[in-house]
C-alpha cells in the first residue's frame, strides 16, 4: 500500500524545483532510517516527472494516465529493483544495464528505484558504478539506503544525496491521532517504538499491534517491595529502560513549565501533572542519572542484570 507523504517538505520542494527547472540528475541517493519515507518520496518523484497534467508549477495530479499507471505499478518506464532474498544481486544489476540503454516507452525518462542498495556485494556495486559513471541521458536511478557507510565513496559521489530525517516523536504522535484516528494513548507509544519513522508506525498499526501507552508504574509507586517486581519487568523488556528516561524528562519539563513541544508523552500529560508535585527537581535529575548509569552498566559490563536493575528500582523509589 502506498502511504501518503508525511513531513519531508524541504525535500519535496527541492524535487519540485528540480522538475520545474528540467535539471533532473542521472542518479539520486536517498539516505535515512528504514520506514522514514524514502520509498514514498521516490514514488512521488517518479509521478512528478511523469505527470501529464500541464500546470504552472510541477505537481502530481494523481488522475492522469501516467499518475494512475504509477499508482497501480503498471508504468512501463518505472521499475523497482529490490533485493532478491537478502541481497541485490549482480544479475539484477546486469539486467538493469541491459534495459537502461533503451529509450523510454511513454514518458520522457526511464526511472529505476533501487531499494536497500547497501545490500550489494562489491561485485554488484562495481557493476552498478559503471552505469552511475555514464548514465544514459533519459534515465534516472534513485538509490535508497539506510546505511550510507556501507557504500563505496565512488558510489556516493556519483549521486545527488538527499538526507531523510525521522520526525520528532511528539509530531508523529499528533499526526497519528489527527490523520489516522489513532487513540491518543496509543499514539505516543507507537511514535516512540517507531523511532519517529512514519512507515514503521503505520506498519505496526496495520498489523494491529495493540501497543498502548501507560505511565510507568515506578513513577507513582511508593512501596519499596515493588522494586523487585519492577526490576523483573525491566529485565524482561530491556528496551523500556531507554523509554523510562523520557518519562522522567517529561516530569522535569512539566515542573519547569517548559513549552508543550518539549513534552514527549503529550497524551499522558494530565496524569503526569498529578505526579509532578511528589518530585523535587533534584530527585528527577538523580533518577535520570541512575537510569543512564544502569543502562551503561548493563551494556558495557558483565554485571548481574537482576541485581543492577533491583538497585536501580530501589533508588528510583526513594
Ligand atoms: Zn498526473
Q: What is the CATH number of the domain that holds 133?
A: 3.40.50.300
What's the whole-number mean pLDDT along residues 143-161? Answer: 96
Residue 126 within a domain: yes
Residue 102 Cα to ligand 1 middle (Å): 24
| pLDDT above 60 for 2 | no
User: What is the extent of the structural domain holding 30?
Assistant: 9-163
| pLDDT above 90 for 55 | no
Examine the domain organization and report whether 180 and 222 are in the same domain: no
- What pLDDT score was predicted for residue 246? 92
| pLDDT above 60 for 224 | yes
Residue 103 Cα to ligand 1 middle (Å): 21
The pLDDT > 90 percentage for the chain reads 67
Examine the domain organization and report whether 200 and 222 are in the same domain: no
- What pLDDT score was predicted for residue 238? 84
Examine the domain organization and report whether 86 and 103 are in the same domain: yes
| pLDDT above 80 for 56 | no
pTM of the model: 0.73
Examine the domain organization and report whether 26 and 132 are in the same domain: yes
Residue 64 Cα to ligand 1 middle (Å): 4
What's the whole-number mean pLDDT along residues 235-245? Answer: 88
| pLDDT above 50 for 1 | no
- What pLDDT score was predicted for residue 189? 85
CATH of the domain at 233: 1.20.272
Residue 63 Cα to ligand 1 middle (Å): 5
Per DSSP, the residues of 165-193 read -PPPHHHHHHHHHHHH---HHHHHHHHHH
Q: How many domains does the chain have?
A: 3
| pLDDT above 90 for 260 | no
Poorest-confidence range of 4-13, 20-29, 241-250, 274-283?
Answer: 4-13
Locate 105 and state its grid cell.
Answer: 516507452
196 in helix, strand or coil?
coil
- What pLDDT score was predicted for residue 205? 83
| pLDDT above 90 for 188 | no
Tens digits of residue pLDDT in 97-107: 999 999 999 99
Cell 500529560 belongs to residue:
269
Examine the domain organization and report whether 146 and 263 are in the same domain: no
Residue 127 Cα to ligand 1 middle (Å): 34
**More confident position, 20 or 1:** 20
- What pLDDT score was predicted for residue 164? 95
Cell 558495557 belongs to residue:
300
Examine the domain organization and report whether 145 and 179 are in the same domain: no
| pLDDT above 80 for 4 | no
Tens digits of residue pLDDT in 296-318: 999 999 999 999 999 999 999 97
Residue 304 near residue 235, CB atoms below 8 Å? no
Examine the domain organization and report whether 149 and 175 are in the same domain: no
Q: Which of 213, 210, 216, 217 is nearest to 184 (CA)?
A: 213
* Residue 226 CB-density burial (10 A; 0-12 exposed, 13-18 middle, 19+ buried): middle
Examine the domain organization and report whether 148 and 16 are in the same domain: yes
Residue 150 near residue 116, CB atoms below 8 Å? no
Give the chain's mean pLDDT.
91
- What pLDDT score was predicted for residue 108? 93
Examine the domain organization and report whether 89 and 55 are in the same domain: yes
Residue 108 Cα to ligand 1 middle (Å): 14
Residue 206: pLDDT band (50, 70, 90) is confident
- What pLDDT score was predicted for residue 210? 67
**Dihedral in degrees, nearest 10, Cα atoms 229, 290, 255, 167:** -90
**Dihedral in degrees, nearest 10, Cα atoms 46, 47, 49, 51:** 160
Residue 236 within a domain: yes
- What pLDDT score was predicted for residue 43? 95
Residue 50 Cα to ligand 1 middle (Å): 7
Residue 198 Cα to ligand 1 middle (Å): 25
Amino acid at each position: 500500500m502506498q502511504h501518503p507523504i508525511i513531513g519531508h517538505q524541504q525535500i519535496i520542494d527541492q524535487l519540485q524545483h528540480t522538475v520545474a527547472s528540467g535539471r533532473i540528475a542521472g542518479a539520486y541517493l536517498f539516505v535515512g532510517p528504514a520506514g522514514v519515507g524514502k520509498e514514498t518520496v521516490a514514488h512521488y518523484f517518479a509521478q512528478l516527472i511523469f505527470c501529464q497534467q500541464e500546470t504552472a508549477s510541477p505537481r502530481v495530479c494523481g488522475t492522469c494516465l501516467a499518475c494512475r499507471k504509477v499508482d497501480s505499478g503498471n508504468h512501463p518506464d518505472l521499475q523497482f529493483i529490490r533485493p532478491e532474498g537478502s541481497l541485490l544481486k549482480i544479475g539484477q544489476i546486469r539486467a538493469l544495464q541491459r534495459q537502461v540503454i533503451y529509450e523510454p516507452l511513454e514518458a520522457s525518462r526511464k526511472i529505476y528505484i533501487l531499494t536497500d542498495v547497501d545490500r550489494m556485494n562489491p561485485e554488484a556495486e562495481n557493476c552498478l558504478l559503471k552505469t552511475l559513471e555514464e548514465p544514459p541521458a533519459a534515465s534516472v536511478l534513485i538509490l535508497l539506503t539506510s546505511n550510507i557507510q556501507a557504500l563505496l565513496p565512488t558510489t556516493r559521489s556519483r549521486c545527488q544525496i538527499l538526507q531523510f530525517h525521522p520526525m520528532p516523536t511528539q509530531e508523529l504522535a499528533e499526526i497519528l491521532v489527527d490523520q489516522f484516528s489513532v487513540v491518543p494513548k496509543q499514539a505516543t507509544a507507537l511514535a516512540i517504538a517507531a523511532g519517529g519513522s512514519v512507515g514503521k508506525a503505520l506498519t505496526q498499526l496495520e498489523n494491529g499491534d495493540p501497543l498502548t501507552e501507560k505511565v510507568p508504574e515506578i513513577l507513582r509507586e511508593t512501596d519499596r517491595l515493588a522494586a523487585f517486581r519492577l526490576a523483573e519487568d525491566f529485565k524482561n523488556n530491556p528496551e523500556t529502560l531507554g523509554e523510562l528516561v523520557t518519562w522522567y524528562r517529561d516530569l522535569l519539563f512539566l515542573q519547569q513549565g517548559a513549552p508543550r513541544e518539549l513534552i514527549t508523552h503529550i497524551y499522558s500529560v494530565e496524569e503526569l501533572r498529578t505526579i509532578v508535585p511528589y518530585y523535587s527537581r533534584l530527585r528527577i535529575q538523580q533518577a535520570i542519572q541512575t537510569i543512564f548509569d544502569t543502562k551503561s552498566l548493563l551494556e558495557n559490563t558483565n554485571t548481574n542484570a537482576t541485581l543492577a536493575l533491583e538497585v536501580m528500582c530501589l533508588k528510583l523509589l526513594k
